[in-house]
A and B are shown apart, each in its own frame.
Chain A
Amino acid sequence: MDREVPPVPELKVAVPSSMQSGEGGGAIPAMFAATQYLDEEERILKPAEPALFRLSNVNFWYGHKRALADVGLEIPVNKVTALIGPSGCGKSTLIRCLNRMNDLIPGVRVEGLVEYREQDIYAPKIDPVEVRRRIGMVFQKPNPFPKSIYDNVAFGARVNGYKGNMRELVQQSLRQAALLDEVQGDLRKSGLALSGGQQQRLCIARALAVQPDVILMDEPCSALDPIATLKIEDLIRELVKEFTIVIVTHNMQQAARVSDYTAFMLADETGAGSLIEYGHTQEIFTNPKDKRTEDYITGRFG
C-alpha cells in the first residue's frame, strides 16, 4: 500500500494575502497541486488517502444487459464513501461487485479490474467466501436470521471457525453496533422480536462479528424511521474509525451527513450505469462540477 504523507487537505479557501507567510501567493498553487484526478475532465477525484479498493474499467452484464459501463474509482481506507444516483443507475450492482455478492445471480459477468488491497478479487484463485468474510455487507431490509440474537451474531464467526471466546465476541460486536445496552438482558430472544432499527443494528453486529475490514451497506436505512436512521448514521460515523465503509443511499441528505466521499452515478439510455462524478462529499453537495450531478442533487433530475 502506498502510504504517503497525507498532503494538506485542499479546502478551496484561499488564505488572504495578509495571513500568508512571506512567499506571497505561492501557498495556493501548492495546495491545489495535491488534488489529483483519475480522468482528464477532472470529474473523478483520486482521494488523497491510500486506496483500499481500486476499480478500473469495470463493466458488468446481467446476461446481455450491461449494468455498469467503465466504472473506475478509488475507495479510500477508513472513510465513508457514498454511492448516490437515481434508481437503476447501477449503484447497488457496483457495491455488490465489491464483495462478489453478484456471483450468485446466474448469467452475470464482470469485466475490468476490481482490486482490494491490490489483489484482483475476480482472479481465478480468489475464493469468494474469503472475500465476503473480509468485506461484510448490510442490506436494505433488516434481515436477521429467525434465530436468537446471540446466534445471529455468532453465526458468521462460527462458520468461519472462530476459536476464541464466543460469548465475548458476541458482546463486543453488539457493543460496537450500539445495540448491547438495549438487548443485554436477553440474548436468547429472537432477532425478529426487535424493532426495525434494532434489527438493522443486529445485522451490523452480525457483520462485525467476523471481524471484517470493510462494511458495505446497501441502503441500510431505507426501511427505517428517521430516528432509527439517525442512530445508524451516528453508528456509521463511529465505525469508520475502524472500518472502511461504502454506503449506497437514495437519501441525499444521508449521503451528505455520513460520507466523506460521494460518487454520483447515472445510467445511460441503454440502462448501463456509469460514474459521473466522484469527490469530497462537501464539494459534491455544494459545488458539483458536472451539470448532471448538479441537476440530481438540486432535485431537477429528469
Chain B
Amino acid sequence: MAAVRAHVSLRATGAVARRQFVSRVSRYVLLAASLVGIIVLAYLTYDTLNTGASRLSWDFLNSYPSRFAERAGLRSSILGSAWVMGVTVLLAFPVAIGTAIWIEEFAPKNWLVTAVKLNLANLAGVPSIIYGILGLTIFVRFADLGPSIMAGALTLALMIIPMTVIAAEEAIKQVPQSIRDASLAVGATHWQTVRSHVLPEAMPGIMTGIILAISRAAGETAALIMIGAFTFIAFDNTSVKDDFTTVPIQIYNWTIRPSQQGFQVNASAAIIVLMGAVLTLNLLAALIRERFRRE
C-alpha cells in the first residue's frame, strides 16, 4: 500500500508564525521582569557582604553590646532571639494546631466558623506594629509583664498563630478524604481517625508552616520595639521574666547610629548572621516538604 502523500506544509506561516513570534517575545519580557528583582537582591547581598563580612568573628558573636563599635557583639541579642523564638513556638504551636484541627475536622459548618476562618486570613495580614501595640497594652501593662521575654513571646505568638493556623488548615485539607473514610469504615472514632491518620499525614505541611512562621518571627522588629524591648542587654537571659533584646532590634539600633562610629559595619555583619539563620530555616522547611512529598 502506498503511503499517504503529504500535501500540507507543516511549517509555521501566516497566523501561526505571528502567534509564535508573540510567544517567543513574551518569554524574554517575563525573563527581564524576573531579573529586575534578582539583580536588586544580588546587589544588596553583595553590598551587605562587602561591608560586614570582615567584621564576622567569634568575638563579634560572643560579645555583649558596647558603646564602641569594634567591641560590640551579638551575644545577648542572639540569646534573646533564641529565648523569644523558643517560647513563641511553645505558645503558638499547640494553639495553632488545635485551632486548625478543630476548624477542619470538628467545627460545625456555620456562619460563625466561616467568619472566624475569613478573619484568620485578615489577621495574618495585619501589620506587625499593631500586634506590638496590642502586646504593649495587654501583656506589658495590663498583665504587668513588663518588656520581658514572656511579653515578647506572647506578642509574637499572637502574630504568627493566624498564619500557622492557615498553613496547618491547608495541610489538613490536603489529607485525602479516602484515608478518613477508610479509617472510619473500620470502626475508628473521629478522634482516632484524626490522631492516627490525619495528623501524621498533615504533619510535614504543618511543620513547614511553623518553620516559615518562625523565620518571620525571627526577623520581627517593629512589634518588639513597640512593647519596649531593650537594646542594651549586657547579661545572659536565664528566665522568661528577663528583659531582652533580639538580633533584628540590635541591627535596627546599630543602623540608626551616626555612620562614622563604625556601627554600620556591625549592622551589616549582624544582617549576614540573621539572613543565614532565616535561610537555614527556610531550607529546612523545603527539605521537610520534599522529603515527605517523595514518600
A interface, CB within 8 angstroms of B? 99, 101, 104, 106-107, 129-130, 132-134, 136-137, 139, 141, 143-146, 155-156, 159-160, 203, 206-207, 209-210
Contact = CB atoms under 8 A, between A and B. Distances in A.
Contacts of A160: 186-187
Contact of A129 (B179, B180, B189, B197): B189
Nearest to A103: B184
Given A132-B185, A134-B187, 12 more contacts: A130-B187, A132-B187, A133-B187, A137-B181, A139-B178, A143-B178, A143-B182, A155-B183, A159-B192, A207-B185, A207-B186, A210-B187
Contacts of B187: 129-130, 132-134, 156, 159-160, 210
Contacts of A210: 186-187
Interface in B238-267: none
Interface in B169-204: 176, 178-189, 192, 196-197, 201
Contacts of B192: 159
Interface residues of B, number: 20
A213 to B, nearest CB: 12
Contacts of A206: 182, 186
A159 B196 contact: yes
Nearest to A128: B184
A104 B184 CA distance: 10
Contacts of B180: 104
A143 B196 contact: no
A137 B179 contact: no
Contact of B186 (A106, A130, A132, A141): A132
A145 B201 CA distance: 10
Nearest to A141: B178
A261 B262 CA distance: 89
Given A143-B176, A145-B179, A146-B295, A101 B186 contact: no
B183 A145 contact: yes
Contact of A203 (B109, B182, B197, B295): B182
A159 B179 contact: no
Contacts of B189: 129, 159
Contacts of B196: 155, 159
27 contacts: A101-B181, A129-B188, A129-B189, A130-B187, A132-B185, A132-B187, A133-B186, A136-B185, A137-B185, A139-B178, A139-B182, A143-B178, A143-B182, A146-B179, A146-B201, A155-B186, A155-B196, A156-B186, A156-B187, A159-B188, A159-B189, A159-B192, A160-B186, A203-B182, A206-B182, A209-B186, A210-B187
A107 B188 CA distance: 22
Nearest to B109: A106
Contacts of A143: 176, 178-179, 181-182
A156 B188 contact: yes
Contacts of A107: 109
Nearest to A144: B182
Contacts of A203: 182
Nearest to B110: A106
Contacts, number: 66
Nearest to B184: A132
Interface in B96-130: 108-109
Contacts of B183: 145, 155, 159
Q: Which of B186, B188, B189, B192 has the most CB of A within 10 A?
A: B186
Nearest to B182: A143
A207 B197 CA distance: 16
A279 B95 CA distance: 56
B109 A101 contact: no
A1 B185 CA distance: 26
B182 A145 contact: yes
Closest 8 CB pairs of A and B: A133-B187, A156-B186, A143-B178, A137-B185, A159-B188, A106-B109, A143-B182, A159-B192
A272 to B, nearest CB: 23
B108 to A, nearest CB: 8
A210 B184 CA distance: 12
A143 B186 CA distance: 13
A272 B209 CA distance: 43
Q: Which of A136, A139, A143, A206 has the most CB of B within 10 A?
A: A143
A207 B196 CA distance: 17
Nearest to A142: B178
Q: Which of B180, B184, B196, B201 has the most CB of A within 10 A?
A: B184
A285 B148 CA distance: 79
Contacts of B186: 132-133, 136, 155-156, 159-160, 206-207, 209-210
B178 A155 contact: no
B26 to A, nearest CB: 40
B122 to A, nearest CB: 24
A209 B179 CA distance: 17
A129 B188 CA distance: 7
A62 to B, nearest CB: 13
A209 B186 CA distance: 9
Nearest to A134: B187
Contact of B185 (A99, A106, A130, A144): A99
A255 B279 CA distance: 58
Contact of A155 (B108, B188, B201): B188
